[in-house]
Amino acid sequence: MAKRDTSSDDPTDVILDSIADGVFTVDEDWRITSFNRAAERITGVPRDEAIGRPCCDVFRASICETDCALRRTLDTGAPVVNRSVYIINADGARVPISISTAILRDRGGRVIGGVETFRDLSLVEALRKELDQRHTFADIISRAESMQRVFAILPTVAESSSTVLVQGESGTGKELVARALHNLSPRAERPFVTVNCGALPDTLLESELFGHRAGAFTDARTDRQGRFAAADGGTIFLDEIGDVSPALQVRLLRVIQDGAFEALGESRTTTVDVRVVAATHRDLQAMVEEGAFRRDLYYRINVVRLVLPPLRERIEDVPLLVDHFVRRFNALQGKDVTGVSPEAMEALLNHDYPGNVRELENVVEHAFVLCPGGRIEVDHLPADLAPAAQAPQAEAESLEQLEARFLRKALERNRWSRRATAAALGIHPTTLWRKIKRLGITLPPIDGRSR
């Protein structure tokens, strides 16, 4: 099928390109016949690449394979209005949208295809999450293969009631994983309770976990419910469980194993139904060998283990995370920061992030305070990042050069297999091939095309 001349001055095209919502039309063979400017922006697919292709190849939505709204409209004649779904854009990112569909007819009333409009809800979604403090699987952002392996099993793990141990350095997103496990589980409508075990001394932590009765100790003037009781039916997240003393580990073992405990100052046993997710930055297995952590408790919490790599080991995620934080802070602060300059991105990519994703988020927030609008420059970054960017360079790299360099590294890590590289980056192989051509990356004679 011949592609439509996208340089046409057709008044209809001018009108469609002037609106903020994405619009595309398909013929009776489901091939795209028009694709406006907003559709290009939201999907990341250029118009000349979209025209003539099946819509499911371009508009990769969560309902394409199972319940296509446009197909339903063409089958039933009934339009779909403002249905919330999400698409995967050309960079592999998840974009929440609302869609509406209608039948397309010629002047004689004959059905010649369909039309779909869609609106980007990314900012609405970011604001909603800030208001209700609920998190989903999609909040954990990464293209790295190590994180993709975690993503692959997370929904299955969430369906079970088994105890989960999340290991990773501070700031890698252990609580986000715990919240995702809860919100994807059958317990999602029940409480999610967080306890930082490393923030309190033993006596206070014991009271915090199990509660106390009035008079149990000095200043215990009233009864207080513990966190395990508050989490009944839901999930409790025990952060930094490696900091719990051996004495308190005994009580934790019992409640995790039997769901039973006594509040301080009470002899009556309370039973609860709680799913436990524990987390630590420590090497618990080494602590077991040293006698600093109970072996039986370790085995009880280590039923399923999820390991989160530090950001320095998945540095290719930095541009993706920066883009996410820029959109988030734009929504929260009402600014119009358009992105990051090549020099600032170079500084961000050269940092090793001992504070991991949390540190990167703080860096972007710091830049937002200083940046009045437009692009984030080196001067807007914290001082400990700026010197790296200000080191003498023959010529500052453009964003395209940075992207090309990282794609080459990703291809090299995957032995030039485009399929494996696309999977590691979380993008479609066609998208990767388009980037390779656009950036002028030369592939070796044996480049893994068959793999």
**Residues 279-333 pLDDT 10s:** 999 999 999 999 999 999 999 999 999 999 999 888 888 888 898 899 888 888 8
Q: Are 343 and 422 found together in one domain? A: no
Q: Are 204 and 303 found together in one domain? A: yes
CB atoms within 10 A of CB 178: 25
Q: How many structural domains is the chain composed of? A: 4
Domain end, chosen from 76, 93, 120, is at 120
Confidence grade of residue 107 (pLDDT, cut at 50, 70, 90): confident
Domain end, chosen from 120, 153, 179, is at 120
137 within 8 A of 155, measured Cβ to Cβ: yes
* 326 falls within a domain: no
Q: Are 241 and 302 found together in one domain? A: yes
207 within 8 A of 223, measured Cβ to Cβ: no
Section 113-133 average pLDDT:
73
Look up the CATH number of the domain holding residue 371.
Answer: 1.10.8.60
pLDDT at 387: 52
CB atoms within 10 A of CB 401: 14
Full residue range of the structural domain in which residue 418 is found: 399-439
Q: With pLDDT > 70 as the criterion, what percentage of the chain qualifies?
A: 85
Q: Are 279 and 364 found together in one domain? A: no
Q: Are 303 and 158 found together in one domain? A: yes
For 29-162, list the strands marked E by DSSP.
Answer: 32-35, 80-88, 94-105, 111-120
* 321 falls within a domain: no
- To 5 degrees, how large is the angle CA 309–CA 314–CA 320? 120
* 316 falls within a domain: no
* 86 falls within a domain: yes
Q: Are 138 and 266 found together in one domain? A: yes
- 283's torsion region: left (phi>0), alpha (psi -120 to 50) or beta? beta
* 22 falls within a domain: yes
- Measured in whole angstroms, how far is the alpha carbon of residue 190 from the centre of its chain? 23
- Residue for token digits 């409640």? 255
The number of C-alpha atoms within 13 Å of 173 and in the hemisphere containing its C-beta is 26
- Helix boundaries (H) for 66-219: 69-76, 122-132, 145-159, 174-183, 202-210
Residue 431: which of 407, 406, 447 has the closest Cα?
Answer: 407
Q: Are 360 and 224 found together in one domain? A: no
State the DSSP code for 316. G
Look up the CATH number of the domain holding residue 103.
Answer: 3.30.450.20
Least confident of 241-245, 297-301, 371-375, 385-389: 385-389
pLDDT at 429: 78
The number of C-alpha atoms within 13 Å of 401 and in the hemisphere containing its C-beta is 9
Instruction: Give residue 72's identity as a one-letter amino acid code.
Output: R
Domain end, chosen from 120, 149, 167, is at 120
Instruction: Give residue 374's identity as a one-letter amino acid code.
Output: G
Q: Please state, rounded to an integer, the average pLDDT across all residues of the chain.
A: 83
Q: Are 200 and 218 found together in one domain? A: yes
Look up the CATH number of the domain holding residue 275.
Answer: 3.40.50.300
Q: With pLDDT > 90 as the criterion, what percentage of the chain qualifies?
A: 34
Phi first, then psi: what are they for 205, rounded to 5°?
-65, -40
Distance in angstroms (rounded) separating the CA atoms of residues 49 and 59: 12
Distance in angstroms (rounded) separating the CA atoms of residues 84 and 382: 39
* 314 falls within a domain: no
Q: Are 87 and 27 found together in one domain? A: yes
- Helix boundaries (H) for 114-173: 122-132, 145-159
Distance in angstroms (rounded) separating the CA atoms of residues 41 and 43: 6
Q: Are 345 and 423 found together in one domain? A: no
Residue 390 has pLDDT above 50, yes or no: no
Least confident of 266-280, 284-298, 352-366, 379-393: 379-393
Residue 50: which of 65, 37, 62, 61 has the closest Cα?
Answer: 37
Tokens representing 365 are: 């927030």
C-alpha radius of gyration, the chain, whole number: 26
96 within 8 A of 137, measured Cβ to Cβ: no
pLDDT at 4: 44
341 within 8 A of 380, measured Cβ to Cβ: no
Residue 260: which of 229, 236, 297, 233 has the closest Cα?
Answer: 229
* 446 falls within a domain: no
Q: Are 297 and 194 found together in one domain? A: yes
The number of C-alpha atoms within 13 Å of 272 and in the hemisphere containing its C-beta is 26
pTM of the predicted model as reported, rounded to 2 decimal places: 0.59
Phi first, then psi: what are they for 398, rounded to 5°?
-80, 170
Angle between helices 399-413 and 418-425 (to 10 degrees): 120
pLDDT at 234: 95
Q: Are 244 and 142 found together in one domain? A: yes
* 162 falls within a domain: yes
